Every structure is written in structure tokens, then in C-alpha cells.
Amino acid sequence: MNPSADLAQRAQQMLADPRRGREEFAPDFQAVTLQGQPVALKQFAGKILVLDFWATWCPPCRASVPELKELVRKYPDRVALLSVSGDKDDAAWQDFVAKKQMTWLQVRDADHHMGKLFQVNAFPTYLVIDGDGILQKRIVGLNPQESVVHKLKALLETIVKPE
């Protein structure tokens, strides 16, 4: 009769929104971007959020940068991209982001808090979270025959509401 604070909070959330019992909701998170801005899941309410878990030492992650740029260009107002780097070397991470002109939100997850929170065990991993906070898709790794944008395109077209 004395549940942990985490269990009590989840029970309250399910009572407030019974869909939480049927759907996989993204965990709340808080982080700080490369530019020093705080960022949290609640900021993306009503938008599609794509989380990109990657690292500079991961060849498929580096290869996906042009596709991610295309994703940002294609859905500038309806889809938000947040790249979460597992790099330990802050200078290498910042240098890579600058050289590749990765202008979207960037977070370095040196302590792997975000990776653990979202149960990420491999790079790259892409998570698509809809505007209600429901985890719609998890894509792990890259397939050379099928681009990340191609994999996400059909899903995004079904969940991104036309303007």
C-alpha cells in the first residue's frame, strides 16, 4: 500500500488518460541542447518528434546525416528532430555537428541517461513520437537498400496532419 513515487505517478497518469494502458508512451525527458537550451518532451506536444540516437564514431550514423537534413527540409513545421549523441568526447561531437551543419536540436548524452530512458542499445536508433507522446515507431540500424527517410516517410504521412 506504499508504492514507489514512480509507480504512483504512472498510476495517476493512467487514471487521467486510460490510453496509457494500451499505448506505449514516450518517457518524459529533460536535456540541454548544444546551444544551452533546456529541452523536454512536453515542448513537442502536438508535433511529431523524431529522436535520432547516434555517435560520431558510428559509420551508419555519419552516413545518415544527409537524410536527416532532408527530413528537416521536408517537414519544417510539423516534425521536430532531436539528435541525441552518445559521444563521450565533447569537442569531437561539437566539431562534427558544426562541420556537417547539423542545424536541428542536438543533445550530447555522455552519461547515457537518455539512452537508458528510451532503452537504446544500438546506434543508430530512431524513435518516432506523435503529438500525443505515443511512441509510434522504433527503427534500429540502417539498411543500405532503404534509407531512414524512406522508412519514416510512410509513417510520417499517416500521422502528420496536413496544414
pLDDT digits (tens, 9 = 90+) for 24-64: 889 999 999 999 999 999 999 989 999 999 999 999 999 99
| Active centre residues (catalytic) | 58, 61
Using an 8 Å Cβ cutoff, are 48 and 128 in contact? yes
- The pLDDT value recorded for residue 2 is 75
* pLDDT-based confidence at residue 16 (cuts at 50, 70, 90): low
pTM of the model: 0.82
Q: Which residue has the cell 551543419?
A: 101
- The pLDDT value recorded for residue 105 is 97
Average pLDDT, the chain: 86
Phi, psi of 50 (to 5 degrees): -110, 120
- The pLDDT value recorded for residue 40 is 97
